[in-house]
Amino acid sequence: MVAAPLPGGALIYATLRLRLRKKLMDKQISPKNNSDVCIRCATCMAVCPVSRVTPKFPGPKQAGPGTERFRRPGEPSVDEWIDLCIGCHLCDMVCSSGVNISELNLIAKAKYLDQKGRPFRDWLLTHSYLYGWFGSLFSPLVNLLLKSSVTKWIVEAILRIDRRRELPGYESSTFRQWFRKHQFRGNHQGTFHSREKVEVDNPPSPPFSKGGKGGFKPHSKDKKRVAYFYGCYTNTNEVDVGKATVQVLEANGFEIILPPQRCCGIPMLGNGDFKGAKKMALYNVPSLLNTIRSGSEIIFSSTSCGHMIKHEYSHLLSIPDAEEVAEHIFDIFEFLRNLIESNGLNAHFKELSLKIAYFAPCHLRALGIGLPVLEILRLIPGLKIDNIEADCCGMGGIFGFKKEKYEISQEIGRDLAEAIDRLKPEIILSDCEGCRMQIRHLTGLKVLHPIQILRDALFEISDGETRR
């Protein structure tokens, strides 16, 4: 039986309930392990994208609070099926008792994989920040190899990465390289930007900074300043998302700085590697905290990175000072929506005669901020935008790359593909890079980040600073 996706009203209700749940957790009304408050209502079972497509996964109720009552710290894990949890957080959003189901599942997954061991494939997929600079440096050759059917067959045979999954290509110039040149060229008004202590791009010892120091000097002292956490994928694989974010913020009167940063750690956390994720967090939090205390709010364009920093750093990894960082980091469209409320948004949009469909990622919904993309983009004249009524896309980070999970990933995404086919959009939008990869794979259609459309509504396409 296939569960129906959350309609608009139910999504709003789920968002409000999630906000209440987070307030209760912040006040420590609920314990960290609150499995005993589960009333076994099975609401989470109705929305779980994995259990509805395969009997191998018993569902969030059984995998989380149901089995948690019988788990003992000193006993070996027998939860082989726990590795099928995709980490979408939909169970958390609908739980009326406020049980942290996804966290229970993730902790159980970490224990199981720590005991079983992780294949080299999983390490390779979760540590792309280590070799992304190499992919960009030799992008013509690397991209050619990644598209080769022979390479895909070899990769599947050796690493068990499904050959049917497209491997993301690399861009020849990273986002950091573009940003450095952008500073010297000046912004759209022609102001010259200087810099100091520039973080090294393509460093000999990754990820992005030499010795953990550096950062870009702000554009000018008479502008409002914001910092940008751009993330690994934007830096090497979808540079235009970073460009568009910078250009839209500059068009709204902000100067942009790039604080020293590493991978947010979500690929590792999603694979149960708490140690690796915590290492990333322990680097990022002091760096971001220093930026915040210097007077800058922080913006993210990847909802997966954002959810990791805002929620998992404090609630799951217990990183010192992560709560303060969480209070000052915002999704780009949440930030722009706040500008509307203060009459500060640059809404001088040109007409865009496009039919677009928008898919809200699971991690965006888990943030409990509503759907700010729709609120902003519906201000653009001529733009017709539909909200895609579907749940998880099925990608789940590295989940969809694994040969043994590929079919499950595709089956989960079937509802989304059918919903898109009914709407027949020209372009599809989503805030998550994983969702964009999966939607391209499922439909073959053009898929962008919403910020790219907003940028195109502010600037002429022929502008050298805009998407090529």
Task: Report which secondary-structure segment, H or E, holds 384.
Answer: strand 383-387
This prediction has a pTM of 0.84
Cα(208)–Cα(206) distance, rounded to whole angstroms?
A: 5
Closest by CA to 208, choosing from 272, 261, 153, 143, is 261
pLDDT at 61: 81
The confidence band for 451, taking pLDDT boundaries of 50, 70 and 90, is very high
pLDDT at 222: 52
- The average confidence (pLDDT) of the chain is 85
**Of 99 and 33, the one with more pLDDT:** 99
Task: Report which secondary-structure segment, H or E, holds 153.
Answer: helix 149-159
Cα(397)–Cα(64) distance, rounded to whole angstroms?
A: 20
The confidence band for 460, taking pLDDT boundaries of 50, 70 and 90, is low
**Of 27 and 376, the one with more pLDDT:** 376
Decide: helix, strand or coil at residue 3: coil
Closest by CA to 49, choosing from 111, 91, 101, 107, is 91
The answer to whether the beta carbons of residues 103 and 314 sit under 8 Å apart is no
Q: What percent of the chain has pLDDT over 90?
A: 66
> Cis ω on the peptide bond leading into residue 207 (within 30° of 0)?
yes
The residues, ordered by sequence, that sit 6+ positions from 133 with a Cβ below 8 Å of its Cβ are 174, 201, 202, 203, 206, 236
pLDDT at 75: 79
Among 142-156, 189-203, 376-390, 402-416, name the one with the lowest average pLDDT: 189-203
Closest by CA to 358, choosing from 437, 434, 426, 286, is 426
The confidence band for 235, taking pLDDT boundaries of 50, 70 and 90, is very high
Among 97-101, 194-198, 350-354, name the one with the lowest average pLDDT: 194-198
Per the document, the length of the chain is 468
pLDDT at 376 over 70: yes
Tokens of 51: 């259990």
The confidence band for 46, taking pLDDT boundaries of 50, 70 and 90, is confident
CATH code linked to domain 354-458: 3.40.50.10700
The answer to whether the beta carbons of residues 304 and 433 sit under 8 Å apart is yes
Among 197-201, 265-269, 301-305, 415-419, name the one with the lowest average pLDDT: 197-201
For 104-149, the pLDDT digits (tens) are 888 888 888 988 899 999 999 999 999 999 999 999 999 999 999 9
The residues, ordered by sequence, that sit 6+ positions from 399 with a Cβ below 8 Å of its Cβ are 86, 87, 270, 405, 409
The answer to whether the beta carbons of residues 333 and 348 sit under 8 Å apart is no
Task: Tell me the backbone φ, ψ of residue 462, rounded to 5 degrees.
Answer: -75, -10
Q: Confirm or reject CATH 1.20.1050 for domain 175-341, answering yes or no.
A: yes
For 278-314, the pLDDT digits (tens) are 999 999 999 999 999 999 999 999 999 999 999 999 9
Domain boundaries, the chain: 8-116, 175-341, 354-458
Q: Domain 8-116 belongs to what topology? A: Fumarate Reductase Iron-sulfur Protein; Chain B, domain 2 (1.10.1060)
pLDDT at 229: 98
